Amino acid sequence: DYAPDGYLLFDQKGMIIEANQAAAILLNTSQESLHHSFLFRYLKKADRENARQFLKNLTTVGPGEEVHDEFEIWITPRGRPSFPGAVSVLAVEKKEHNNGSTKAKSSFIVRCMFRDNSAHRQAEELIRRNSMRYKALSDLSQLIMEAWNDPQEVLNRVARVMADLIGDSCVTRLIDKSGQYLEVVSACHRDPVLEELLKEVIYRKPYRLDEGYTGLAFTTGEPVLVAEVQENNRFEKRHKVFQSFEKKAGRSSILVVPLLLHDEKLGTITMTRGSPGNPYTVEDQSLLASLAERAALAFASARLYQDLEKAYQEEHQMRRQLIIAEKHAAISRMIGSVAHELNNPIQTVQNCLFLISQDLNDDADLSNIISMATSESGRVSKLVGILRESFRPVKLEPMTVFDLREILEEVRNLLSPHLQYQSVKWLQEPFNSPAFINGIPDQLKQVFINISMNAIEAMQPTGGCLWVSLIIKIEEGTASVVFRDNGPGIREEDISRLFEPFYTTKERGTGLGLSISYDIVTNHNGNITVESELGSGAAFAVILPLVDSRTL
């Protein structure tokens, strides 16, 4: 009676012969009520047949043998919920004599010890969940480390881990630059088919900060757990674009946690389960919050690295531009001075040749020699003139505000005959938005013509396509005119020197076209970038600062 575990003694038919006080307490009855009652009434239906089969099997046990077993079974007390019971049974043979005869009949009496195993189960479940949690954090940390320099990949991997671990779907959103909407950056689902459907609908509509559970979690900075989603919920009206997905995937439970980095709100992670009967729990919320904390830190670190990398590239580009500009200035001064000094003696030589040609009689051989000398000196004079003009200090022409689309249309019309003759197609994307800049139209027209002519020459003798696009980035305040060809491309070692004076990759080229274009663009506070891969053509982008059309 003083044992902490329940003790029962019952026969081979399952009738209880004896019970201690602990057994009565565990079964929520009295010891007297247990006597001569059947064991099966205190078992769940699913376990009653197993108990009957155990007792039935005792008939096959040989004389003098004992049967011992330990297992877990669901025990049902009177008027209380069932609990998992840890049971130990020992079946002992006893012999009975009939009317004094010597013939014995074998039977078994069963001793049973049992206890409530709920606490043990809870401890095991807690250990399992903690193990799962630590493994998830470890796995996520490893995945994040592999994508340490890519913010987008960090969030993609986080969404995948959470969808597989917590389920069913995971959508990550970040606050946009306006600070008014949450933009979807990654979406995953356990089911690949449903994931495709989710991605089709989730990117269509931005999420307002005052909208639904996701907006609530972001604005408050606290997790939102909805164990069971109610139909016709007034708090969160679903947009029609999501209905096709939810009709197939379901939406029974929601869990949203904010992505926080100290006091900065980065975005949210929204989890959704489709099938009812498996709601999110506080433990799920705790796990998701831990994962979100690491995800936010990893995302911020990756974003910081990306910003540093971008800043380094910009500084490197600025240094390179400064070196080129200084080189241009030095060469310009030198060439301007040399060209000026050469011009006078060349003029003298040309005058002398002219006078000699006037005094010639009918000496054909000498006349041809003089004519050849005059022609070559004229070519030298023309080259000196080009050098003087090219490297003459830029005239301070007045700048005006104009639409780049008009200049591009003029360039297209000017080059149209040449494009047709060289079998090159000018493919122009629709320029729907105006691109107003402050500059000198003729100079920029010269830049666009020069880049286009270079592309046309690069695609000879077979011809090809020249794609021209106008990319407007309002947030950066720039307009980019991009010329992309499908020629042979430019070697990597040549790209860094394309804008140097007299550097050319052509057989017949002065190496001044791109150099002059570069000077013009930089005088417009712009920049020229080049991207190329051998065999895949080249792309030149002229980037210029926009003028806000609202100020015009």
Residue by residue, DSSP assigns 41-54 as GGB-HHHHHHHHHH
Distance CA(482)–CA(408), nearest Å, equals 11
The token pair at 456 is: 């046309």
**What single-letter amino acid sits at 544?**
L
State how far the Cα of 401 lies from the Cα of 544, in Å rounded to an integer. Answer: 12
Work out the burial of residue 123: count CB atoms within 10 Å of its CB; fewer than 13 is exposed, 13-18 middle, 19 or more buried: exposed
* ω into 362 cis (within 30 of 0): no
Listed in order, strand segments (DSSP E) in 339-477 are 400-403, 424-428, 436-439, 464-473
Q: Mind listing the pLDDT tens digit of every residue in the chain (552 residues)?
A: 777 899 999 988 889 999 999 999 999 999 999 998 999 999 988 888 888 888 888 777 767 778 888 888 899 999 999 999 999 988 887 655 555 544 445 578 889 999 998 888 888 877 877 777 777 777 777 766 766 677 778 788 888 888 887 878 899 898 888 888 888 888 889 888 888 888 888 877 777 887 888 889 999 999 999 988 876 555 555 556 567 677 778 888 899 999 988 888 989 999 998 888 788 988 888 888 888 888 888 788 878 887 888 888 877 777 776 666 666 666 666 666 676 677 778 777 878 877 777 776 666 677 777 787 777 777 777 767 766 665 555 555 688 999 999 999 999 988 888 899 899 999 988 888 889 999 999 889 989 998 999 999 989 889 999 999 999 998 889 999 999 999 999 888 888 788 877 777 766 666 677 888 888 898 899 999 999 988 889 999 999 999 876 555
Please report where in the chains the tokens 């999501």 appear, as a residue: 242
361, amino acid identity: N
Which domains are assigned to the chain?
6-116 (3.30.450.20), 123-304 (3.30.450.40), 320-390 (1.10.287), 400-551 (3.30.565.10)
Q: What type of residue sits at position 396?
A: L
Nearest-10 Cα torsion for 349, 354, 360, 366: 50
| Strand segments (E) across 177-263 | 181-189, 207-208, 224-226, 253-261
**What secondary structure letter does DSSP report for 93?**
E
Q: What single DSSP character describes residue 190?
A: S
Distance of CA 480 to the CA centre of its chain: 25
Q: What is the pLDDT of residue 318?
A: 72
DSSP code at position 100? T
Number of C-alpha atoms within 13 angstroms, CB side, residue 346? Answer: 17
Position 466: which residue type? Answer: L
Q: What is the DSSP string of 489-536?
A: ---HHHHTTTTSTT--SSSS--S-HHHHHHHHHHHTT-EEEEEE-TTS
Q: What angle do CA 205, 210, 216 make, to 5 degrees?
A: 105
- H or E stretch at 343: helix 282-359
Q: Minimal CA–CA distance to 548: which of 435, 439, 408, 404?
A: 435
Burial 101-118 (b: 16+ CB within 10 A, else e): eeeeebebbbebbbbbbe
Contact (CB, 8 A) for 499 and 324: yes
Read off the DSSP letter of residue 229: P
The Cα 225–Cα 257 span in angstroms is 9
Res 102: pLDDT: 44
- Contact criterion met (CB below 8 Å) for 114 and 6: yes
Kindly compute the dihedral angle of the four CA atoms of residues 410, 414, 419, 421, in this order, to the nearest 10 degrees. Answer: 160
Taken in order 152, 153, 158, 160, the sign of the CA dihedral is positive
**Phi, psi for 18 (deg, rounded to 5):** -150, 145
